């Protein structure tokens, strides 16, 4: 029993420093978290015209508020009993690396946005023990694998769709997504009943050098037939280490070609582009709030002003969010000194507030912000701030309704815990978080989100064509036909002309 108690106490001694480090960083969702103390590759934040003010919610408890020592000891005892029955020995507490099981449980209890009552912990810990028992043989008695499975079960039991325990491969893919770069064939993709459809080929990519073209369908990679496979599984086959090669077969016009050798190269995904939407009205689209999106955005707005733009349309339709520091940086440049941007709260208490620090360079520039049901998180922070402060007219349809912020803490082995730690509130103290299904945690349709000042309803099929055209422009690819009419953008131009 002494070993178990020591394991738990050591976990508690280490955890508060990690949590405090998280709360001091002005980052958001999956990126804020990457800068925590255990991540040696934490990004360097670009100075921006905003400042942060901590609130009472930033104080980290000295120990888990609800998870009891006796509950954890009971779990560890059950796990040791399972191993003894299976193998006749007990190794769980003997290996210091297994202490991450206990430290992660304490971290969940301290960090999660809502309290987890002790009674609920009983159910979660039982499910974890059941998982270890049912998967012990399949995992070969490997506690590292079993701990991963148990932590996945624990986080899924929270019924929060944005919290998850990531294995090393899942975390790597998340980092690639957030950084906007990866090594792969160099194609934009679409689903196809025959395999992986090629929507476009990036210049100077491995796919381009191998002769692949838009409209092709990749049917086989390194002997693996793609027909019927999930899109995620097919994407894993075309991505890989920079410089690695694969043999691929593809269909073109119903005829099979190959094999061709495709060399993977680093692909920098375009994130933003601009154009003149009308006389004296500029337009900027970006599909994610990445580390350098704010600087790229500022460059694009300045280029539009150089072309004569006296107003700008900011399009975040289909933008799932990203970094809070990037969103705050963009918002701040349209506001005057001391204006509120957003506040993060945990259990009703402010953890940190974001406030402008100086007058923005685009203060007074007329704006319209375009949103839809796929505009989420940081996109909603931007739209909500401009709407509350009456700095822009918001046009389109109700946004997604993701009003929570996540933190990610990586482990030395490459795994990571992504956990919802706060809810965010607009300058008018609005939470746009949608109502949740208690069984799944999913946002209930028609709840939450930012409601536009001007509603423009667009049928799903028409909106898909509009966003398809936008993505092709973003990636420098030619349109496949006449440009789809965009009534949301047309309404923005009409209102800005007034």
pLDDT score at 1: 41
Helix, strand, or coil here: 353?
strand
When comparing pLDDT for 396 and 240, which is higher? 396
Residue 475 has pLDDT above 60, yes or no: yes
Note the Cα 470 to chain centre separation in Å.
Answer: 21
Query: Exposed, middle or buried: residue 125 (CB in 10 Å: 0-12, 13-18, 19+)?
Result: buried
Please say whether the beta carbons of 284 and 301 come within 8 A.
yes
Mean pLDDT of 403-413: 87
pLDDT in tens, 139-198: 999 999 999 999 999 999 999 988 999 888 788 777 766 665 568 898 877 778 999 998
Strand pairing of 272-278 and 181-184?
unpaired
Residue 4 has pLDDT above 50, yes or no: no
Helix, strand, or coil here: 83?
helix
pLDDT score at 406: 87
The Cα 349–Cα 326 span in angstroms is: 24
Mean pLDDT of 256-277: 90
pLDDT score at 20: 29
The Cα 53–Cα 343 span in angstroms is: 9
pLDDT in tens, 345-402: 988 889 999 999 999 999 999 999 999 998 999 999 999 999 999 999 999 999 999 9
pLDDT score at 224: 94
What is the rounded average pLDDT for all residues in the chain?
A: 85
Task: Domain 272-497: give its CATH code.
Answer: 3.90.226.10
pLDDT in tens, 11-36: 443 333 333 233 222 222 332 233 22
Q: In this structure, how many other beta carbons lie within 10 angstroms of the beta carbon of residue 278?
A: 17
pLDDT score at 181: 58
pLDDT in tens, 77-102: 999 999 999 999 989 988 888 888 99
Give 440's DSSP letter. T
Looking at the structure, give the CATH architecture of the domain made up of residues 181-268: Roll (2.30)
Percent of the chain with pLDDT over 90: 58
When comparing pLDDT for 18 and 123, which is higher? 123
The ranges of the chain annotated as CATH 3.90.226.10 are 272-497
The ranges of the chain annotated as CATH 2.30.42.10 are 181-268
pLDDT in tens, 291-334: 889 999 999 999 999 999 999 999 999 998 988 899 999 999 99
């Amino acid at each position: 029993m002494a070993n178990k108690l020591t394991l738990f106490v050591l976990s508690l001694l280490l955890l508060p420093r990690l949590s405090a480090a998280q709360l001091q960083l002005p980052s958001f969702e999956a990126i804020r978290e990457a800068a925590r103390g255990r991540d040696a590759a934490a990004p360097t934040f670009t100075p921006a015209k905003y400042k942060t003010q901590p609130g009472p919610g930033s104080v980290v408890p000295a120990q888990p508020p609800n998870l009891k020592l006796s509950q954890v000891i009971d779990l560890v005892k059950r796990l040791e009993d399972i191993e003894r029955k299976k193998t006749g020995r007990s190794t769980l507490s003997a290996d210091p690396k297994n202490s991450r099981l206990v430290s992660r449980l304490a971290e969940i209890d301290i960090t999660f946005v809502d309290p987890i009552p002790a009674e609920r912990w009983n159910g979660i810990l039982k499910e974890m023990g059941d998982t270890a028992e049912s998967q012990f043989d399949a995992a070969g008695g490997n506690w590292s694998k079993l701990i991963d499975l148990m932590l996945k079960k624990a986080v899924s039991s929270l019924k929060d769709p944005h919290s998850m325990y990531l294995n090393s491969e899942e975390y790597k893919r998340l980092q690639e997504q957030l950084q906007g770069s990866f090594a792969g064939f160099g194609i934009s993709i679409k689903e196809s009943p025959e395999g992986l459809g090629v929507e476009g080929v990036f210049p100077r990519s491995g796919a381009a050098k191998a002769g692949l073209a838009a409209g092709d369908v990749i049917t086989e990679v390194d002997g693996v037939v793609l027909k019927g496979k999930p899109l995620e599984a097919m994407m894993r086959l075309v991505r890989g280490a920079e410089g690695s090669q694969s043999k691929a077969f593809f269909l073109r016009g119903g005829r099979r070609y190959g094999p061709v050798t495709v060399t993977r190269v680093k692909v920098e995904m375009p994130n933003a582009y601009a154009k003149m939407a009308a006389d004296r009205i500029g337009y900027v689209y970006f599909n994610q709030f990445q580390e350098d999106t704010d600087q790229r955005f500022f460059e694009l707005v300045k280029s539009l002003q150089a072309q004569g733009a006296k107003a700008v349309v900011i399009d975040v339709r289909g933008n799932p969010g990203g970094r809070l520091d990037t969103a705050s940086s963009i918002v701040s440049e349209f506001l005057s000194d001391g204006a509120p941007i957003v506040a993060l709260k945990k259990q009703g208490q402010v953890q940190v507030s974001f406030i402008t620090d100086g007058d923005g360079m685009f203060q007074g520039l007329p704006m319209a912000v375009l949103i839809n049901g796929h505009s989420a998180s940081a996109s909603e922070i931007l739209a909500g701030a401009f709407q509350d402060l009456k700095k822009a007219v918001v046009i389109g349809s109700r946004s997604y309704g993701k009003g929570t912020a996540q933190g990610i803490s990586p482990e030395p082995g490459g795994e990571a815990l992504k956990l919802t730690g706060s809810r965010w509130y607009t300058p008018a103290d609005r939470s746009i978080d949608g109502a949740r299904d208690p069984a799944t945690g999913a946002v209930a349709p028609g709840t939450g989100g930012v409601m536009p000042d001007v509603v423009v309803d667009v049928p799903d099929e028409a909106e898909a064509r509009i966003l398809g055209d936008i993505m092709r422009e973003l990636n420098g690819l030619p349109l496949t036909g006449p440009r789809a009419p965009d009534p949301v953008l047309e309404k923005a131009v009409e209102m800005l002309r007034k």
